[in-house]
Structure 1
Amino acid sequence: MSTVSEAAGRAYGGESASDRDDRRRRQLLDAGLRVFGSVGYRAATVRGLCREAKIADRHFYQYFDKTEDLLLAVYAECIARLTDSVSEAMAEVDPDSGLGAVAKQLLEPFFQVVEDPHLARVVWMEVLGVSPRVEQTYLTVMQQFGTLLLGYLRTFAGDVPSGPDMDVDLLATAAIGGISHTAMTWYQNGYVAERRIVVGTIATMLTNIVAPLTNTVSEKRVN
């Protein structure tokens, strides 16, 4: 009995079962980002992912039912990185800043994260057309992010009404659509444009989406 215990101790290096599970899952997530972000989701296999993660093939199914589940888990971590970058920037914003300055402050760390080519490929290419479940996840996440960003920027632009000819959700969709397409194009072009140019351009777009509505409100109040 002691021989078996000693052998097990040597094999696992004193690592608990829980820690071992966490480590293997982490290795799979990291491998998923590298593989999906390079050769792509459709070319990925369980064997290839496990080889990249340096774990036995059989361990994959302890954590994920299929590669689509790993893709969604990797995607969720990518989105968390993007969202956290903006949320952290929000905490540093000067409340007296103008709308354009705030937009730049939020977009700078966002596009800095986008400069990770593996992340960019997963977020804007590999999750498209996989399955209705993945597609719905993508659409929901993009809508939520657009609503978060636009909702925050509106606080620096005064009261913006959602009148009969303006839908806030659609406005958020339009905003995130512009950001997403720009991020995807920037990635596909090899990040040729300087980040400051990308940030300044998208900040101008967001300012132009919100500011005119505020001007309309001001004019109505004056009248």
Structure 2
Amino acid sequence: MNGRSYRGMSAEERLTERRERLISAAYTLYSDPGFPETTIEKLCASARISNRAFYECFSGRTELMQVVHDRCVHETLLSVAKSVKQAPDTLLDRVEAGITGYIDFVTEDRRRARIMHLEVRRAGDCLITSRQQAVKAFTNMIETIVADRPEAVRINRHLLALGMIGALQELLIEWVLADDPPETDRLISTAVHIFHRSFAT
């Protein structure tokens, strides 16, 4: 690819613009009909680019899925961190703010919820590392919230964080797949209840 401009855009700018169009197309198609059903041809048709241009941007569907998933995770982490920062400085208030912020942000766009909690699994073993990195990031956030809190002395923070992540994932998979999905307020109250019971003496 040369560096000549075309329609006022450099080669690098054109590549970036095509990548973003593919990411946008994947965000929609990977959520519906889903990752296994979405071909490169469908992605290219939606993004209005050629198959050749696709391979100038990504090595294949899996790399594109990883980019979409990682962006969803990054945006969610930023949103949850903001919610926690604005909460009163007590353990339960901060945890409730984090849970509420997470569920509200993820379910705000059904595509985000489906990609983060269902389609990344359907993509197979090739995205295990991406999933593990996401779990680690959210685990670190929860461990930070409960760090140095007298209430958490009897609790293994790492295991508690993993348990909370597992509960949230299953609640959101239910929300994505159910014919009659539960209200998000019910998801939040259930997750908060699970955390409260973790500290019951």
The TM-score bracket by the shorter chain reads 0.7 to 0.9
Distance in 2 separating the partners of 1:79 and 1:93? 21
Q: In the alignment, does 2:162 pair up with 1:186?
A: no
Deviates more, 1:74-83 or 1:199-208: 199-208
Structure 2 Cα separation of the partners of residues 59 and 106 of structure 1? 40
With over 3 angstroms needed to count, the CA separation of the structure-2 counterparts of 1:141 and 1:85, relative to structure 1, is same
Question: For the structure 1 residues 101 and 94, does the alpha-carbon distance in structure 2 shift closer, same or farther, using more than 3 Å as the test?
Answer: closer
Report if the CA contact (8 A) 2:139-2:162 is conserved.
Answer: yes
Q: How does 1:116-131 map to 2 (within 5 A)?
A: 116-131=109-124
Distance 1:194 1:132 in 2: 32
Quick one: distance in 1 between partners of 2:151 and 2:96? Answer: 21
**After superposition, where does 1:165-184 map in structure 2 within 5 Å?**
167-184=156-173
Q: Does 1:60 align with 2:54?
A: yes
Match runs of 1:62-81 below 5 Å? 62-81=56-75
If you compute each CA radius of gyration, which structure gives the higher value, 1 or 2? 1
Q: TM-score, normalised by structure 2?
A: 0.86
Q: After the TM superposition, which of the residue ranges 199-208 and 183-192 deviates more from structure 2? A: 183-192
Structure 2 residues without counterparts, runs of 5 or longer: none
Paired residue secondary structure (2:182): coil
Say what the alpha-carbon RMSD is for the aligned residues: 2.3
Contact persistence 2:62–2:126 (CA under 8 A):
no
Give the match for residue 49 of structure 1: 43
- TM superposition shift of 1:137: 2.3
Instruction: Quote the offset at 1:52 in angstroms.
Output: 0.8
Q: CA deviation at 1:167?
A: 4.5
Residue in 2 that maps onto 1:88? 82
Query: What letter is aligned with 1:79?
Result: V
Q: Give the C-alpha shift of residue 146 in structure 1.
A: 2.6
Moved over 4 A (4+): none
Q: Write the distance in 2 (CA, Å) between the matches of 1:99 and 1:159.
A: 8
| Structure-2 residue corresponding to 1:106 | 98
For these two proteins, the number of residue pairs brought into alignment is 197
Superposed displacement of residue 135, structure 1: 1.9
Q: CA distance change for structure 1 residues 136 and 18 in 2, over 3 Å: closer, same or farther?
A: closer
Offset, 1:186:
1.3
| TM-score normalised by structure 1 residue count | 0.78
Judge conservation of contact 1:108–1:199 (CA < 8 Å) in 2: yes
| Structure 1 unpaired stretches of 5+ | 1-7, 216-223
How far apart in 2 are the matches of 1:180 and 1:173?
11
Deviations 1:105-157 (A, max 9, x none): 222231122222211111111121534331232133223313312x1331484
